[in-house]
């Protein structure tokens, strides 16, 4: 069941990056050029393993380890490891040159077409809009510059600073700390259902950006809002494009 709408508009907004602002499956076109007939399958397997690896790394932080330092890898390294696993799983020969091409493509993923107009409207109406992402700072900076969105988003918060990944509360903590607002006053927007759910559990006001008509998670809990386009964020701030 979806929670009731909140009467007061939020005071700020944080966007997930990968899958929400940037199309993680825009790498499929290059993958198809390199591995004919397998581009979409590789993109899907790559993303699935990337998220799985972030969860494994986060889980290691809370495991009982009295003597060894907790295991951690930055998101960039996890993304490369996930690509290698996906290719091995699909029995695709991944040369060093092809790996470099695919990873460079991941640095500059395609942004969704409505992003600029929505973020510009938010900025013009004085709404603070930032990013809260698993991505490394360098990855996020490159992606934002490539898409021409770097002047429209501040703060840009990276899970790297706490050496954990979503849905660990330590990552979600970064938003209230940076914005000086309680979580319930911040709208958190993600196209990843698991991320929208984790943020809802944490206490954010959430919007699940369900672009492709997927089913939401069934663990319990729901986002406050559901939309199929980023444009619908504006209405929550009483902005009419």
Residues carrying an active site annotation: 16
**According to the model, what pLDDT value does residue 6 have?**
56
**According to the model, what pLDDT value does residue 1 have?**
43
| pTM score, whole prediction | 0.92
Measured distance CA(51)–CA(101) in Å, rounded? 21
Pairing of strands 128-133, 205-209: unpaired
* Statement: residue 115 has pLDDT above 60: yes
CA atoms within 13 A on the CB side of 35: 22
Measured distance CA(135)–CA(100) in Å, rounded? 18
CATH class of residue range 12-23+109-236: alpha beta
Pairing of strands 12-15, 186-190: parallel
Q: How confident is the model at residue 59 (pLDDT cuts 50, 70, 90)?
A: confident
Measured distance CA(45)–CA(63) in Å, rounded? 27
**According to the model, what pLDDT value does residue 7 have?**
64
* Statement: residue 239 has pLDDT above 80: yes
To which residue do tokens 């911040």 refer?
186
Query: Which carries the bigger pLDDT value, residue 212 or residue 170?
Result: 170
pLDDT digits (tens, 9 = 90+) for 173-185: 999 999 999 999 9
CB atoms within 10 A of CB 229: 13
Indicate the DSSP class of residue 205.
E
Indicate the DSSP class of residue 75.
H
* Statement: residue 44 has pLDDT above 70: yes
> Whose CA is closest to 211, among 6, 16, 55?
16
- The fold of the 25-107 domain, in CATH, is DNA polymerase; domain 1 (1.10.150)
**According to the model, what pLDDT value does residue 71 have?**
82
* Statement: residue 63 has pLDDT above 80: no
Q: How confident is the model at residue 77 (pLDDT cuts 50, 70, 90)?
A: very high
pLDDT digits (tens, 9 = 90+) for 81-108: 999 999 999 999 999 999 999 999 999 9
> Whose CA is closest to 182, among 1, 3, 6?
6
To which residue do tokens 């990968």 refer?
18
> Whose CA is closest to 113, among 226, 190, 26?
26
Task: List the chain domain ranges.
Answer: 12-23+109-236, 25-107
Q: DSSP 3-state assignment of 159?
A: helix
């Amino acid at each position: 069941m979806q929670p009731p709408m909140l009467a007061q508009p939020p005071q700020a907004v944080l966007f997930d990056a990968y899958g929400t602002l940037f199309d993680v499956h825009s790498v499929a076109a290059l993958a198809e050029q390199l591995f004919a007939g397998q581009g979409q399958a590789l993109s899907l397997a790559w993303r699935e393993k990337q998220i799985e690896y972030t969860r494994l790394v986060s889980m290691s932080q809370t495991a009982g380890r009295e003597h060894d330092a907790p295991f951690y890898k930055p998101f960039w390294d996890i993304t490369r490891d996930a690509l290698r696993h996906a290719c091995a799983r699909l029995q695709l020969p991944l040369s060093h040159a092809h790996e470099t091409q695919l990873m460079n493509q991941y640095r500059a993923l395609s942004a969704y077409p409505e992003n600029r107009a929505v973020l510009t409207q938010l900025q013009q109406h004085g709404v603070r809009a930032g990013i809260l992402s698993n991505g490394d700072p360098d990855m996020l900076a490159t992606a934002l510059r490539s898409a021409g969105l770097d002047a429209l988003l501040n703060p840009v918060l990276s899970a790297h600073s706490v050496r954990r990944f979503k849905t660990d509360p330590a990552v979600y903590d970064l938003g209230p700390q940076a914005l000086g607002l309680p979580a319930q006053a911040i709208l958190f927007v993600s196209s990843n259902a698991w991320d929208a759910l984790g943020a809802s559990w944490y206490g954010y006001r959430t919007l699940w950006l369900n672009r492709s008509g997927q089913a939401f998670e069934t663990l319990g809990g729901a986002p406050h809002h559901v939309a199929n386009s980023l444009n619908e964020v504006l209405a929550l701030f009483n902005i009419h494009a």
